[in-house]
Structures are given as structure tokens and as C-alpha cells.
Amino acid sequence: HLGNATAKAELGRAAWRVLHLMTLRYPENPTPDDRAALKSFFYLFSRLYPCGECAEHFQKMLKTYPPQTSSRKAASMWLCSVHNLVNERLHKPEFDCLTLNDVYDCGCNDTSSAAPR
């Protein structure tokens, strides 16, 4: 059936925002455990994302472009390019990945990584 395009788009914007902020707060020098966590997160996310059509496409994309987890830069640039592939498929403009850091602000009042240790 047709679904609700407005709700689907709203879900997409919320999801992308969390995902981009997550990679932009990922450690610069991740431990093997950090790397495993990010990788699992994306596979589980692609399996559980509530828009089934989107989830299916995302799973296919992960097969071709597996999550890059070696550093914050690698992860955030990987996600940005994956988002750009979705943009392309949906006939949306390409985003300039060099502006990621300026555009995204999580509002978190602390320094670097998601889970300070």
C-alpha cells in the first residue's frame, strides 16, 4: 500500500540525524570493542528500521558498502556517502561531506566521544 510519505520522511530525518551524530561522536581511535559495537549497531539497525522498504535497501547497501569503523573520520565519511547514495536514489541533492562537522551539533556539553571512559 501507499503508506504515509510524510511520516516516512520525518522518520528518515530523525534517523539520519541520530546516525550522523553517532558517527561524529565515535572515538577518533576506537578500540576493537568500539569497532565491533558500531558494526553490529548498523547491521541491527538495518534489520530493525521500521520502514521495511528502507530497511531492505539499507541491508543491500551494507553488503556492498560495509560499515567503516577504523576511526571517527572513516565512520562519518562512510555514513555520509551511504546517505548520499540514498539521496541519489530518491533524487535528492548530494550533500557535501566536508561540511559534516559544521552542520551537525549534538548539543552535548562534553568533549569527544560518546561514552567517556
- 22 or 69, CB closer to ligand FAD? 22
CA atoms of 35 and 30, how far apart (whole Å): 6
Does residue number 13 form part of the binding site for ligand FAD (CB under 6 A)? yes
- Which residue of 31, 40, 70, 87 would you call a contact of ligand FAD, by CB under 6 A? 87
Q: Which residues lie closer than 8 Å to 75 by C-beta, 6 or more apart?
A: 23, 26, 38, 67, 68, 69
**CB-based contact 24:68 (threshold 8 Å):** no
**CB-based contact 39:74 (threshold 8 Å):** no
Of 72, 70, 71, 92, nearest to 83 (Cα)? 92
- 63 or 117, CB closer to ligand FAD? 63
- Which residue of 21, 37, 62, 86 would you call a contact of ligand FAD, by CB under 6 A? 86
Per CB under 6 A, which of residues 18..77 are in contact with ligand FAD? 20, 49, 53-54, 57-58
- 90 or 108, CB closer to ligand FAD? 90
Contact residues: ligand FAD, CB under 6 A: 8-9, 12-13, 15-16, 20, 49, 53-54, 57-58, 80, 83-84, 86-87, 90, 92, 95
